Structure 1
Amino acid sequence: MHETDKSTDGFRKKTFTVSSFYESAMRLGRSLPQLAHARRGDRVDDAFAEKIMLSTTAVNECQYCTRFHTSLAREAGIDQATIDQILESDVEAAVDDAERPALLFAQRYAEADGNPGPDARAALREAYDPETAADIRAFVHAIYFGNLLGNTYDAARLTISKRTRATRRRLDWVVDAVDGVLTHLREKCPV
């Protein structure tokens, strides 16, 4: 579904393919009304939402989402030790029993490329009422999309940068070769 770049470029994070981007964008679009509803509701407070965001981001390792949601988590009152535990995927130690199922679902969702499986879905339904579970899924859909979008941007920048450097080296070689030929011709034909 999503691609982990295993090329020699050295970028090893999950990124979008064309088809996975379309699929994820459609899933996000379907979950936007629920996300807006979740943000207005009080079932998932800001601190809990940021823990969910960080838990998903810990798996996907998006540098932009990590910085942004770490900052929002601090603003929501989450201490740095808890943030660090979540970013190290140590959910068991980071949160209490009430929040743990949501964070484990978020991790599983990210690990399984958006398809956490029936057991993870059932665990979420058992732990929360239907509206809260829907809110949690909406947060997870949104951050997962953001994570892969950030990673895809980084992969594209890296690829372009490497190609630019390679092209520059080839161009330098051509310029040096032409300069060498011209120098040689000047020495042979002093016209």
Structure 2
Amino acid sequence: RFVSEMKAFFLLLGLLSRVSSRILAPTLNIRGGAAEREELTTGKVWTLKTFVRDHVTFTSQLPGYLGAYIGNRAVEPSINEAVMLTMNSINTCPYCTGLHGQLARMASAEDPSKSKAPEVIYAKVFATHAGRGKAVEAAYAELAAAVGDGKASSTRALCWFLLWGKTTGNTVNAVRGKILSLKLLSLTPFDVAVFAVYAPLFATIGVLNVGLLKMPKVPPKVSAAIGATLWVPQALHVGLLGLFSLLPAKLLVR
């Protein structure tokens, strides 16, 4: 019942975010000069503009992300984790390597570099282009034709959330590096805010990764249940930040 209630709540958040995304859709380029006609690309770490824009998108993907683990749109766990590892192959995040490396082992996932699964092929394109552009749109059309709209939508949500995970993890580590090297004057208010919000979550992931080292392989239903459970803390962080990002995204991107 708890999972059903959480899914309903974040479905509402997702609907609100999708409405806002459609409002923002015609104006997704950065303000300023010739760059206005070039779409803003998410890099290895967050900037303020990519953070607010992408958190609006992540919030809209929350229902699909949960649906990748439970329901009739669920992605088979071994393929699910192969998608995650493929996404993490570009701008690699150590937290994601630890977490999804172990979850992939537990789910008996094949080596994603050798996989010919349509979901993994799509993830390669998504990772290369950070989720945006004509190449990603074309790859999604091919994915939907191969596996159906439902599973294609779930796969896309998985890709968005690994993009969230690796970019946030890399940002947390970058800020931590500045703190440990005493380069405090190089910290921006944005750095401090992201670190304050996300460092505890990613520290918890680091501890979890150590615990997973001793876990055996598990049946698909157990693997899916683990994914659905991990969805909850991610959704709580992303959903709230997505709502807070609606107005800044409108002001900062066009």
Q: TM-score, normalised by structure 2?
A: 0.52
Aligned partner of 1:16 in structure 2 is 46
Aligned partner of 2:115 in structure 1 is 95
Q: 1:44–1:136: 8 Å Cα contact kept in structure 2?
A: yes
How far did residue 21 of structure 1 move?
A: 1.0
Call closer, same or farther: CA 1:2–1:157 in 2, change over 3 Å.
Answer: farther
- State yes or no: 1:41 paired with 2:71: yes
Please tell me whether Structure 1 or Structure 2 has the larger radius of gyration of its CA atoms: 1
Aligned partner of 1:68 in structure 2 is 99
AA at the equivalent of 1:122: A
1:39-73 superposed Cα distances (whole Å, 9 cap, x missing partner): 11254111111000000011120111011101001
Measure the CA separation in 1 of the matches of 2:133 and 2:70: 26
Measure the CA separation in 1 of the matches of 2:109 and 2:127: 22
1:72-151 alignment runs, 5 A limit:
72-78=103-109, 82=111, 86=112, 90=113, 94-96=114-116, 99=117, 101-117=118-134, 118-151=137-170
How far did residue 3 of structure 1 move?
A: 5.8
Equivalent pairs, count: 144
How far did residue 121 of structure 1 move?
A: 2.1
AA at the equivalent of 1:27: T
Query: Identity over aligned residues, as a percent?
Result: 27
Where in structure 1 are there 5+ consecutive unaligned residues?
A: 5-13, 167-191
Q: 2:79–2:119: 8 Å Cα contact kept in structure 1?
A: no
Measure the CA separation in 2 of the matches of 1:3 and 1:27: 12
Where in structure 2 are there 5+ consecutive unaligned residues?
A: 1-39, 186-254
Greater relative contact order, per chain length (Cα 8 Å cut-off, separation 6+): 2
AA at the equivalent of 2:128: E
Taking only aligned residues, the RMSD between alpha carbons, in angstroms, comes to 2.2
Structure 1 segments (4+ residues) deviating >6 Å: none
Aligned partner of 1:160 in structure 2 is 179
